């Protein structure tokens, strides 16, 4: 074999290897793109919120406590659609009554020691108990406390 043929064979082998490596890399990149894909957009909320403002409750007094103490809360009801939103609005007097009954059980010390989550849980439990006792469907998914003042 002459020296020219040997150089041509080696050059061909190098070009063939480089071409195969480039093609393999291109094929691998096509399936494993390094570009970050955008996350899907969040779904718009379909919930409707109904507010019940200024529920004022007199807290139970400690024995010998000369001052009256109050709790004021704003409650927001999370309804799933327009029909249930209307049902919540129609039942606001009942919901106000249940809220007052549930919160009037607390003393100043006990109410002050509760977190918002614990107070929300107490109120939601009272609503569920009332709707179960009346054997009717609760028209809201949950109640949220949007404002709390204890004096």
Percent of the residues in the chain that have a pLDDT greater than 70, as a whole number: 93
Whether residue 43 lies inside any domain: the answer is: no
**Segment 58-77 mean pLDDT:** 84
Whether residue 127 lies inside any domain: the answer is: yes
Coil vs helix vs strand at 45: coil
User: Do residue 63 and residue 82 come from a single domain?
Assistant: yes
According to the model, what pLDDT value does residue 35 have? 62
Q: CA torsion 84→89→77→80, rounded to 10°?
A: 10
**Segment 133-145 mean pLDDT:** 94
Coil vs helix vs strand at 104: coil
Burial 82-117 (b: 16+ CB within 10 A, else e): eebbebbeebeeebeebbbebbeebebeebeeeeee
User: Do residue 32 and residue 53 come from a single domain?
Assistant: no
Give yes or no for residue 98 having a pLDDT over 90. yes
Domain with 107 in it: 48-150
Whether the Cβ atoms of residue 104 and residue 59 lie closer than 8 Å to each other? yes
User: Do residue 58 and residue 94 come from a single domain?
Assistant: yes
> Using one digit for the tens of pLDDT, what is the confidence trace for 33-49?
556 677 888 887 789 99
Q: CA torsion 63→68→74→79, rounded to 10°?
A: 40
Give yes or no for residue 148 having a pLDDT over 80. yes
Whether residue 126 lies inside any domain: the answer is: yes
According to the model, what pLDDT value does residue 34 have? 57
When comparing pLDDT for 11 and 32, which is higher? Answer: 11
User: Do residue 73 and residue 135 come from a single domain?
Assistant: yes
User: Do residue 143 and residue 104 come from a single domain?
Assistant: yes
CATH number at residue 118: 3.30.1130.10
What is the model's pTM? 0.67
Number of domains in the chain: 2
What tokens were used for 59? 């807290």
Give yes or no for residue 59 having a pLDDT over 90. no
Q: How confident is the prediction for the chain on average, in pLDDT?
A: 87
According to the model, what pLDDT value does residue 25 have? 81
């Amino acid at each position: 074999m002459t020296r020219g043929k040997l150089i041509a064979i080696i050059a061909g082998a190098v070009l063939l290897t480089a071409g195969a490596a480039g093609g393999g890399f291109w094929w691998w990149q096509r399936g494993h793109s390094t570009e970050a894909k955008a996350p899907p957009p969040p779904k718009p909320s379909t919930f409707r919120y109904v507010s019940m403002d200024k529920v004022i409750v007199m807290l139970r007094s400690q024995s010998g406590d000369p001052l009256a103490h109050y709790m004021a809360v704003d409650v927001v009801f999370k309804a799933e659609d327009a029909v249930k939103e209307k049902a919540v609005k129609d039942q606001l007097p009942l919901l106000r009554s249940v809220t007052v009954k549930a919160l009037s059980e607390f003393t100043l010390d006990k109410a002050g020691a509760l977190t918002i989550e614990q107070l929300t849980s107490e109120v939601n439990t009272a609503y569920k108990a009332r709707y179960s006792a009346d054997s009717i469907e609760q028209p809201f998914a949950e109640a949220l406390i949007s404002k709390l003042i204890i004096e």
